[in-house]
Amino acid sequence: MLVLSIDTASNFCSTCLLEGSRVLVKLCDDVGKRHAEHLIGQINLLMEREQRDLLDIDLISVSIGPGSFTGLRVGISAARGLALALAKPVIGVSVFEALACEAAQHYKGRPITVILEGSKGVCYVQDFSPYHKNRGNPRQDTAIAVAESLEKNTILIGSGAEDICRMTLCDFLNIRYPQIATYAFLATKKICQGKPLPLYMQAPSAKGSSFFVPS
């Protein structure tokens, strides 16, 4: 199975091709908020480097965030458009899910909490079982509340994990953002459940970036 993976949730525009468990090629560029100018060209370059055609793709994976409102909109729209044009499935994978998967590869059999830096003093959090199965929806909380809620032996990962690690006895895995290939790998394990939707943790502002869980 050939998987095209797209991640535009941050300042980086990242794509990769995964076949089986092997990453064939990956690209990552710091584009700021100019994902719309770079994504399609990057995908074309990706295919050229591997001498593949878009019609060879079997599955498309896309990061659904949390992340930049502008970036997510571009990436998810492109993934949906390609899936429609190629008549291929598209599966969304969250930053929470991808980081939990990477933590589980380093620490076997221990609960995982993904903590992302938020705004206005809050963290964006999701808890996972030892085998990176989610245990509840993503939530917003203060650092103190998150620290007090953690189980013993929990592994912390994500951009907001280091600060909370200092408040607890939990182990900290210094990975702030997932690898693009992790999204592709997880997409092969998920069941397609309709169109991917962006995961924001607060309502979009007029200035652009946002994190909001749509109802």
Q: For residue 215, what pLDDT is reported?
A: 28
Q: For residue 204, what pLDDT is reported?
A: 58
**Residue 202 to residue 209: CA distance in whole angstroms:** 9
The answer to whether residue 206 scores a pLDDT higher than 50 is no
- Asked whether the beta carbons of 84 and 195 are under 8 A apart, the reply is no
Give the DSSP H/E element, type plus range, for residue 2: strand 2-7
The answer to whether the Cα torsion of 124, 196, 13, 34 is positive or negative is negative
Just give the CATH number of 96-173. Answer: 3.30.420.40
The answer to whether residue 157 scores a pLDDT higher than 90 is yes
**Residue 48 to residue 27: CA distance in whole angstroms:** 12
Q: Please compute the mean of the pLDDT values over residues 108-124 and round it to a whole number.
A: 92
The answer to whether residue 208 scores a pLDDT higher than 60 is no
Q: For residue 203, what pLDDT is reported?
A: 63
Residue 10: C-alpha distances to residues 56, 63, 170 (Å)? 28, 10, 27
Q: What ranges do the domains of the chain cover? A: 2-94+177-187, 96-173
Same fold: 2-94+177-187 with 96-173 = yes
Q: For residue 195, what pLDDT is reported?
A: 82
Name every residue whose Cβ is closer than 8 Å to that of residue 200 and which is 6 or more positions away in sequence: 65, 66, 69, 72, 210, 211, 212, 213, 214
**Residue 10 to residue 95: CA distance in whole angstroms:** 10
- Asked whether the beta carbons of 94 and 64 are under 8 A apart, the reply is yes
CA 94 to chain centre: 4
203 vs 1, more confident: 1
Task: Please write the tens of the pLDDT for every residue from 53-68.
Answer: 999 999 999 999 999 9
Determine the residue type at 13.
C
Q: For residue 83, what pLDDT is reported?
A: 97
Instruction: Please give the share of the chain, as a percent, with pLDDT higher than 70.
Output: 94
Q: For residue 205, what pLDDT is reported?
A: 54
Q: For residue 132, what pLDDT is reported?
A: 79
pTM for the predicted model, two decimal places:
0.91
Just give the CATH number of 2-94+177-187. Answer: 3.30.420.40
91 vs 212, more confident: 91
